């Protein structure tokens, strides 16, 4: 009414252990952070409670979060966990749009183990590849003429269960917001951490239970993987190593002590699984492109602040590793830096969601 709030956007990231919300306004055609808030689900649900049981209490706590943090925007952008959806790159021979539509639907059955009627499916052409066909004798020319490369279309296929989409729609309706968009969290994460940077990056978003790994080329996701490895496994490893309970181990983990130094002689299987999966992703995707260089590993998620984690990844992968800053493209009061420096990695998805609203607003 009267245009109030049309230039402000709310990103809501419902994770497995926390709910994060970020409000961004557009001022002078630039995104400005106006508010942020989060809820630790474990604090009130108990660590043994299963995730589906939490869905019944999310609306009440989200309402409380929005009210107490004085968030004013009603334009909600919501994420679906990456492990709840599918993002995969498929290559097709060059063909007409009609033929491509049919080919994608046919190919989707190989990746989706359920009826397509139960799935929200979308796709985008994200690139073209040329593949030179050599004649039988192995020469790259025939009769003095170069053989032109056979073009292949790179299609990014995105799918999410309709049931999960419906739950997100109901959640936003129940808390009285206006739902603008639902997207798989990987896209929001890339938007806030990479943007339009013209490089090749791997994002490792390490949450409490799951690590989301995304290989990004020039701002486009080319590979997306999810593995069961996260902060809680690190806490359990510390607890076993020092023969203490997990609550005490969690306190030690976030205290700033470096458990990843060789002197500690502690092995973290969860981190080995993550770095091992990144190596497999890079090896599989770039197997025929040995000259391709990865510009960096970007760490995100609540576990990214673990002391020594940047060096651990740099040494394990021999690739420069940094902690992502989702606020790097946003204006905010720099007096907040002391508080935000440790919180920023947790808000990558929520910030990316709100930035989607900003992008849509600025395009009008």
Structure tokens at 145: 């003429």
**pLDDT confidence of residue 149:** 60
Q: Going by DSSP bridges, is the β-strand pair 321-323/296-300 parallel, antiparallel, or unpaired? A: parallel
Structure tokens at 249: 């181990």
Inter-residue contact 19 to 41 (CB < 8 Å): yes
**pLDDT confidence of residue 140:** 46
Q: What does residue 224 show for φ and ψ, rounded to 5 degrees? A: -135, 125
Angle at 140 between CA 138 and CA 145, to 5 degrees: 135
* Pick from 218, 211, 217, 172: nearest CA to 55: 172
**pLDDT confidence of residue 92:** 87
Q: What is the CATH number of domain 197-324?
A: 3.30.420.40
Q: What does residue 301 show for φ and ψ, rounded to 5 degrees? A: 90, 165
**pLDDT confidence of residue 22:** 95
- The pTM (predicted TM-score) of the whole model is 0.86
**pLDDT confidence of residue 124:** 86
* CA atoms of 139 and 113, how far apart (whole Å): 42
Domain map of the chain by residue range?
86-159, 197-324
CATH topology (fold) of 86-159:
Dna Ligase; domain 1 (3.30.1490)
Q: Which segments in the chain show pLDDT lower than 50?
A: 1-4, 45-52, 132-136, 138, 140-142, 144
**pLDDT confidence of residue 5:** 62
**pLDDT confidence of residue 353:** 96
The domains spanning 86-159 and 197-324 adopt the same CATH topology: no
**pLDDT confidence of residue 4:** 46
Inter-residue contact 210 to 301 (CB < 8 Å): no
């Amino acid at each position: 009414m009267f245009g109030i709030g049309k230039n402000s956007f709310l990103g809501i990231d419902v994770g497995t252990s926390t709910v994060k919300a970020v409000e961004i306004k557009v001022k002078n055609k630039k995104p400005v952070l106006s508010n942020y808030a989060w809820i630790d689900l474990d604090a009130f649900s108990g660590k043994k409670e299963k995730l589906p049981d939490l869905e019944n209490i999310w609306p009440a706590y989200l309402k409380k979060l929005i009210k107490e943090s004085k968030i004013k925007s009603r334009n909600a952008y919501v994420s679906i966990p990456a492990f709840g959806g599918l993002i995969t790159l498929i290559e097709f021979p060059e063909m007409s749009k009609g033929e491509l539509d049919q080919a994608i639907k046919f190919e989707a059955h190989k990746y989706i183990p359920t009826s397509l009627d139960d799935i929200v499916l979308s796709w985008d052409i994200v690139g073209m590849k040329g593949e030179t066909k050599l004649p039988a004798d192995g020469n790259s020319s025939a009769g003095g003429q170069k053989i032109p490369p056979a073009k292949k279309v790179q299609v990014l296929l995105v799918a999410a269960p309709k049931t999960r989409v419906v739950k997100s729609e109901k959640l936003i309706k129940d808390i009285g917001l206006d739902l603008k968009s639902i997207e798989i969290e990987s896209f929001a994460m890339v938007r806030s951490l990479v943007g339009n940077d013209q490089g090749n990056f791997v994002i490792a978003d390490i949450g409490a239970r799951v690590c989301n790994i995304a290989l990004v080329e020039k701002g486009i996701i080319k590979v997306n993987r999810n593995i069961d490895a996260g902060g809680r496994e690190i806490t359990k490893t510390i607890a076993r190593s020092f023969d203490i309970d997990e609550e005490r181990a969690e306190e030690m983990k976030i205290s700033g002590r470096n458990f990843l130094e060789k002197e500690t002689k502690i092995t973290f299987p969860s981190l080995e699984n993550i770095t091992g999966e990144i190596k497999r992703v890079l090896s599989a995707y770039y197997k025929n492109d040995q000259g391709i260089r990865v510009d960096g590993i970007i760490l995100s998620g609540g576990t990214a602040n673990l002391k020594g984690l940047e060096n651990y990844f740099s040494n394990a992968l021999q690739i420069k590793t940094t902690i992502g800053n989702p606020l790097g493209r946003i204006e905010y009061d720099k007096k907040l830096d002391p508080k935000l420096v440790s919180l920023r990695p947790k808000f990558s998805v929520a910030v990316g969601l709100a930035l989607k609203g900003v992008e849509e607003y600025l395009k009008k």
